Amino acid sequence: MATKRAKKKTSKKRAPRRKSPSKAKQPQKSHWLRKLVVALVLIILLLGSIYYFGSFDTRAKMERTALAALNTPRTHGATPAPIAAVFDLLYDTIPSSEGMVVEGGELGRNEGSPFLAGIPQSRQAIRTLPQPSYINLFLERSLQAACIALHLDDSPRQKATSNNTPQVDARMPRLTAQAMTLGKWKPHSIAPAQALIGQHGSRGATDAQLATNYAPMTDTFATSAWQKAMRELTLRYPKRFGEVWIYLGPVHHAESTKLSSGIALPDAFYAIALDLTDEGGLRALALLLPSDAESQNLNDYRTSISQIEKLTGLQFLPELDLSIRDTLGNYVSPSVW
């Protein structure tokens, strides 16, 4: 009987309560989080000290490394816009991100003018087609825009609707949507409606639809490489830099295929962005996108203004001092801004 009672007492003993795993690990997690924050702060302070007290060469190397590290994620097509904007902000705080800056001088610019340092000159006869939201330097003989110039700033964006259907420009009635269509080639706008509407509202929507603002493009090019370039230059740059001057246009080779209307199929499209720094300096970014380009990495299309001048017969920035113009014209930016 004694043995049975002893067994009963033993069976009534309760197992000790175990602590919840999540509660036990919580202090450990916060402990490692504090360590991580402290380590990051120390690394930032160390790098800041090296940069601040380092030599000119050391600073230059650190800036190049930082620019290279930031450039890929901020310009990648898959990067969400809010995250890209944060990378842009970090990128713009690095002094050497401005690239080459030359003395701008007076530049001969008028308030709100889409031209900087003078109207581009051409070896061919050009007709000026002014609109409230841009100025089109038009090649009447070939029924193509030579250069569409825009001036954009960071004023509050306006809204309007646009159906992206080319409307005949009464000054060039021969240029129609049909005249720019052949197979996969269809009329697409050169200066984007979204940028013109944002800056000028309903007036910009009307200007964007003029047939003289259109050129033959493939749908693939228009909705990938060209759209990416226009989003970057005409939408993000005004927000980042306050105001920019943009030159856009097609490029044709001597042997370019022509449609039955006489319009040549573009071999490429160019885009030039001009910016005045806070100190009054002038800098430029030039892009040349082949008409069959699909990549949205704009670094693949960097070129010089001089190269675009050779291909188009235009001369940009004619009012700049010759030596300054040559220096800026031959410069190829190491990366997009």
Give pLDDT tens digits for 301-329.
Answer: 999 999 999 999 999 999 999 999 999 99
Task: Indicate if 290 and 207 belong to the same structural domain.
Answer: yes
Task: Indicate if 115 and 175 belong to the same structural domain.
Answer: yes
Rounded mean pLDDT, 60-84:
71
Is residue 235 within 8 A of residue 195, CB to CB? The reply is: yes
pLDDT above 70 covers a percentage of the chain that reads 78
Task: Indicate if 315 and 278 belong to the same structural domain.
Answer: yes
Domain span at residue 71 reads 27-83
Is residue 246 within 8 A of residue 255, CB to CB? The reply is: no
Give the pLDDT of residue 4.
41
C-alpha to C-alpha distance for 298 and 222, rounded to whole angstroms: 14
Give the pLDDT of residue 203.
97
Task: Indicate if 138 and 50 belong to the same structural domain.
Answer: no
Burial environment of residue 133 by CB neighbours within 10 A (0 to 12, 13 to 18, 19 or more): buried
The radius of gyration computed from the CA coordinates of the chain, to the nearest angstrom, equals 29
Give the pLDDT of residue 3.
43
Number of domains the chain is built from: 2
Residue 109 located in a structural domain: yes
Task: Indicate if 167 and 281 belong to the same structural domain.
Answer: yes
Residue 15 pLDDT exceeds 70: no
Task: Indicate if 213 and 321 belong to the same structural domain.
Answer: yes
Q: Which residues contact 104 (CB under 8 A, 6 or more apart)?
A: 117, 276, 280, 281, 282, 320
Instruction: Output the domain CATH number for residue 145.
Output: 3.40.570.10
Rounded mean pLDDT, 86-90:
74
Task: Indicate if 178 and 298 belong to the same structural domain.
Answer: yes
User: Which of 38, 54, 83 finishes a domain?
Assistant: 83
Task: Indicate if 163 and 46 belong to the same structural domain.
Answer: no
Task: Indicate if 276 and 136 belong to the same structural domain.
Answer: yes
Residue 220 pLDDT exceeds 70: yes
Axis-axis angle for helices 81-92, 56-75 (nearest 10):
170
Which amino acid is present at 181? T
Task: Indicate if 262 and 137 belong to the same structural domain.
Answer: yes
Q: Which residues contact 9 (CB under 8 A, 6 or more apart)?
A: none
Residue 144 located in a structural domain: yes
Most confident of 33-37, 81-85, 281-285: 281-285
Q: Which residues contact 280 (CB under 8 A, 6 or more apart)?
A: 104
Q: Please report the sign of the dihedral spanned by the C-alpha atoms of residue 234, residue 235, residue 237, residue 241.
A: positive
| Integer CA distances (angstroms), 50 to 42, 47, 159, in order | 12, 5, 48
C-alpha to C-alpha distance for 207 and 178, rounded to whole angstroms: 19
User: Which of 83, 110, 127 finishes a domain?
Assistant: 83
Residue 179 pLDDT exceeds 90: yes
Task: Indicate if 120 and 242 belong to the same structural domain.
Answer: yes
